[in-house]
Every structure is written in structure tokens, then in C-alpha cells.
Amino acid sequence: MYFLYTIIASLSLFFILKWMKRRRYFMELKRLDGKTVLITGGNSGIGKETAVAMAMRGARVIIACRDPSRAEKAVREIKLKSGSLCVFPMELDLASLRSVRDFCKSFLMREKRLDILINNAGMPGVLDWTNDGFSMCFGVNHLGHFLLTNLLLPRLKECAPSRVVTLTCSNYKYQKLDFQDLNYNLLPFFTYCRSKLANIYFSQELARITEGKGVTSYAVHPGFVQSSWTCHYSFPFQMLMQVIMWMFFVPCEIGAQTVIYCSVSDEAAEHSGGYFVDCQPATLRPFARDAGVAKKLWEASERMVRLV
């Protein structure tokens, strides 16, 4: 009898977990021949799976990564999985404004097109500082991508209709921005939440600024995904998270679906400035839809990265 109960309990757990992890797949196989896609942090996790999907659709794919050897390895894997030879690495460290500027200079010299920019790279909550003196989360997740997108915006406009897809996280809702302390660096999880809220405001303000100019902008929560973000933490925490991720998180291939949907689908094109979850528009908490805050953050960010 005990054996029977164990089997029933295990089967129930299996189906509950399977149900919890159910997600939509983006099935549309729209071709991207002649288009160029740039993905930050495309050497692992969601970014790597997105790169495979873009390369399979015929796009020229550039993955912008901070570690050249990890990038080369990822390029080999993406080529193998997608069957495409048009995948290239470029060096970019989003924790350094100098590196972002150098990257954009060589990208604009080398590449004639930019059709889809995917701001994917991200740091989980860590209490560290960038060389420019910004908190690591805010610096990499928001400011690095802010500068990158602004410097590449002329090329995106030339190639219109073009898209910018920015990865955020549903955890944005646990924090608000403090304009007296944008570099808040006290509790790791909260630094992450704030940087991901900044990603949402950034994406909305970008949509507003580029309205009518052929560039559209989307913020994506990919779901909770079994990627390599735990590598920034201690070994025991990594082990614990492996178990939790195995039980509750979805594989990277599924995590990439909403990113691909926003990059490619005609349906998404109509919702510039929107927030997407599970391949459909989702509703943000009212404070995250405040256009005044989005504009204020944009202007503060311009000053921080010395664009003005």
C-alpha cells in the first residue's frame, strides 16, 4: 500500500510540475534572410537559444560577449545547432562605458545593417561596482544597454522597420526607483529588481522617442529559466538552485520563445512599448507604466553615461 501511495504521489508531483512549466511556443517560421541581429550576452542561456533561432531563420547573427573564448565556443555551438555559418562574435563588456563605445564604433564600421537588437545580457543581484563607479546590476543591465542602444539607434533607424527587444523580469514589481540613489547597492535581490524595472522604463521611453520612425521596442519577461545565472554565487547556493530550477524553471529554449516572438512576429509589431510574457502582451503594475518616471530615468541615464 505504501508503495502505491509513493507512486501516486510521485506521478501527481510529476504532472503538477509539468503543468506549472507549460508555456507557449512561437511556431511562426518567418525568414530573416538579409537581416542582421545583434544579441548581447549571446554566449549562454536565453541569449544563446535566441541566437540559434535567429540563425535558423537565415539572419546574420552577431553575439556581443565579454569573454572572447566563451564567445568563440558559443559561436561553434550555435552554428552546429542552427546549420548556419552566419554567426559571429564581437567583444563587448557592458560593465565598461569605454568598451560599449569601442564596440559601437567597430560595429558601425563593420556592419551595414542592424534590424533587431536584443538587449539580453544580464547580471543577477550581486553587490559589486563597475569601473565607471555604477552598481554592477544597474550599470550592466540598464546603463550599458542604454548607451549601446543610443549609439546604435541611427543604424536601427536607417534599417527601419527595426526592433529593440530588452530582457526584463517580473521581479521588477518588488521595487521602485529611487532617483536620489539610482546606484542602490545594498540588498542583492533588490538591486536586480531595480535594474529590471529600469529596463521596462527604458523600453517604454524608447518606444515613445522612436514613434513614427520605424523602430519599435519591447520588454520581455522570459519566465524563470534554467540558465547559468547561478554561476555568480557560492557553490552550496548553486547546488540548491540546481534542484529548484530543475523542479520549477523552464529550459532556455522555452525561455527564448517570447524574445523570438517579439523580435519576429507581426502580432508583436503592433504593441511597441509593451511588456510581454509567454508570447503575449501582459499588464504591468501601474507604477511601472508611469511615462513621467520613464522620461526622468532616460534623462538621468543620458547624464550618467555622458551622452549629454
Ligand X SMILES: NC(=O)c1ccc[n+]([C@@H]2O[C@H](COP(=O)([O-])OP(=O)(O)OC[C@H]3O[C@@H](n4cnc5c(N)ncnc54)[C@H](OP(=O)(O)O)[C@@H]3O)[C@@H](O)[C@H]2O)c1
Q: Considering the complex, state which of residue 88 and residue 224 has its C-beta at the smaller distance from ligand X.
A: 224
> What's the rounded Cα separation, in Å, for the pair 119 and 133?
21
Q: Does 295 bind ligand X (CB under 6 A)?
A: no
Q: Does 75 bind ligand X (CB under 6 A)?
A: no
C-alpha cell at 128: 559589486
> What's the rounded Cα separation, in Å, for the pair 65 and 74?
10
Q: Considering the complex, state which of residue 22 and residue 29 has its C-beta at the smaller distance from ligand X.
A: 22
Nearest one of 204, 91, 184, 189 to 139, comparing CA atoms: 184
* One residue of 6, 12, 228, 283 binding ligand X per CB under 6 A: 228
Q: Does 23 bind ligand X (CB under 6 A)?
A: no
Q: Does 188 bind ligand X (CB under 6 A)?
A: no
Sequence-distant (≥ 6) Cβ neighbours of residue 128 within 8 angstroms? 135, 136
Q: Which stretch binds ligand X (CB under 6 A): 1-9, 93-101, 180-188, 260-268?
A: 93-101
Which is it for strands 162-167 and 60-65: parallel, antiparallel or unpaired? unpaired
192 is catalytic: yes
| Sign (positive or negative) of CA dihedral 78, 261, 155, 206 | negative
Minimum distance, C-beta of residue 290 to ligand X, in the bound complex (Å):
21
For residues 148-177, which are near ligand X according to CB under 6 A? 167, 169
Q: Which residue has the cell 559589486?
A: 128
* One residue of 41, 89, 188, 273 binding ligand X per CB under 6 A: 41
Q: Which stretch binds ligand X (CB under 6 A): 3-11, 39-47, 264-272, 298-306?
A: 39-47
* One residue of 32, 37, 39, 46 binding ligand X per CB under 6 A: 46
Q: How many CA atoms lie within 13 A of 267 on its CB side?
A: 13
Kindly name the residue from 2, 172, 174, 192 that is annotated as catalytic: 192
Q: Considering the complex, state which of residue 149 and residue 227 has its C-beta at the smaller distance from ligand X.
A: 227
Q: Considering the complex, state which of residue 255 and residue 273 has its C-beta at the smaller distance from ligand X.
A: 255
Q: Does 47 bind ligand X (CB under 6 A)?
A: yes
Minimum distance, C-beta of residue 262 to ligand X, in the bound complex (Å):
13
Minimum distance, C-beta of residue 177 to ligand X, in the bound complex (Å):
17
**To 10 degrees, what angle do helices 97-110 and 145-158 make?**
20
> What's the rounded Cα separation, in Å, for the pair 270 and 291?
19
Sequence-distant (≥ 6) Cβ neighbours of residue 42 within 8 angstroms? 48, 50, 51, 61, 62, 63, 64, 65, 71, 74, 78, 118, 120
Minimum distance, C-beta of residue 226 to ligand X, in the bound complex (Å):
7
C-alpha cell at 45: 542561456
Active site positions, annotated: 192
Contacts with ligand X, residue ranges (CB under 6 A): 40-41, 43-47, 65-67, 70, 92-95, 120-123, 140, 167, 169, 221-222, 224-225, 227-229
